[in-house]
Amino acid sequence: MICDQRIMFNGFYSARNYPEHLRRIRFKDPQSGKTLVFLTNNTGLPALTITALYKNRWQVELFFKWIKQHLRIKRFLGTS
């Protein structure tokens, strides 16, 4: 983890539409060497837990992309 910051939007419309504080986490992935930046409103979880959740979520997104490309599915219908 590089940094864990508490931020607010300072643009007129951004600050008006979302006046709450956000958490900005910068993380360097040891496997790929890429620096990743995450924005979240979750202040209760540790920063490394949040990075693990985002990384796992990205794997799910890549899985659905693969399914759509290889099984020729145009869209998914679901309730959860």
pLDDT by 10-residue block (mean), the chain, 80 residues: 90 92 92 90 91 87 85 71
Q: What is the pLDDT of residue 79?
A: 66
What length does the chain have? 80
HSE (CB half, 13 Å, CA atoms) of 77? Answer: 0
| Residue-level pLDDT at 23 | 95
| pLDDT of res. 8 | 92
Domain membership of residue 37 (yes or no) is yes
Inside any domain, residue 21: yes
Asked whether residue 78 is assigned to any structural domain, the reply reads no
Quote the CA–CA distance of 48 and 25 in Å, as a whole number. Answer: 9
Tell me the residue range of the domain where 28 lies. Answer: 3-71
pLDDT for the residue 80: 63
What's the pLDDT score for residue 49?
93
- What's the total number of domains in the chain? 1
